[in-house]
Amino acid sequence: MNLGVILLIGTGILILLGLAQQVLDRLYLNDKQALLILAAMVVGSFLNIPLYRGTPALSINVGGAIIPLALSIYVLSRAGTRKETTRGLIGSLVIAAVIYGGSKLYTFDIDRGWLEPQYLWGIIAGVIAYLIGRSRRLAFIGATFGIILADLAHAVEAALSGLSSPTSIGGAGALDTIVLAGLIGVLLAEVIGESRERLQGGPVRSEERPEQLKEPDEREGGETHG
């Protein structure tokens, strides 16, 4: 059992214990929907859909790419403002560039060192996703999109180079990387965001705050209290 599957199962346990409700609210999911998605990612990690049967063969992993990508698109489509959407996309591109460029600048020796490359990329992507996004939604979107874009870039490069080894977008260790990056990004946003709110005495109120996150008396058409 790889790390990605273990992390997904661990996340499912936290959801069952009711310890992830606030994060799920920010991702527009309820407990049942989140558990179904996690289960689908675990099962889908064993399924590859062929995209090209030539040389090199190209496929896309259901659990490691299709489901995370679909969830990210859903969350992005619910973004409260255009600024939030733009920041999420910029974060994704930055992460993809860092991961792809880093893999070209430095060659890892998988037989040496204490941390495997996919885990290092997951940590880096998660941290960058939070630093750019500064919210649970944008951290998740940036980390997920960024890893998949980097994986796609490697797949295109392999095809253009005529490499004979098959490529799977979101396959191999990519599921580990995507799950780790997404969890780290969201966890940082949760811990740091909650800490800042406590220090400030409550969440920041702004005109750009998404409608879904406003208090009832702040929403359009809602009652105001003088």
Q: How many Å separate Cα 26 from the centre of its chain?
A: 14
Boundaries of every domain in the chain? 3-201
Write down the pLDDT at residue 155.
Answer: 82
Q: Residue 119: enclosing H or E segment and its boundaries?
A: helix 117-133
> What does the pLDDT read at residue 151?
86
The model's pTM: 0.77
Tens-digit pLDDT profile for residues 27-74? 888 999 999 999 999 888 888 999 888 777 888 889 888 998 999 999
> HEC string of the chain?
CCHHHHHHHHHHHHHHCCCCHHHHHHCCCCHHHHHHHHHHHHHHCCCEEEEECCCCCEEEEHHHHHHHHHHHHHHHHCCCCHHHHHHHHHHHHHHHHHHHHHHHHCCCCCCCCCCCHHHHHHHHHHHHHHHHHCCHHHHHHHHHHHHHHHHHHHHHHHHHHCCCCCEEECCCCHHHHHHHHHHHHHHHHHHHHHHHHHHHCCCCCCCCCCHHHCCHHHCCCCCCCC
> What is the rounded distance in angstroms from the CA atom of residue 214 to the CA atom of residue 122?
32
| pLDDT score, position 105 | 81
Higher pLDDT, 100 or 226: 100
Closest C-alpha to 149, from 127, 131, 174:
174
Greatest alpha-carbon pair distance for the chain in Å reads 70
pLDDT tens profile 144-169: 999 989 988 888 888 788 777 787 88
Q: Which two tokens stand for residue 116?
A: 């495997």
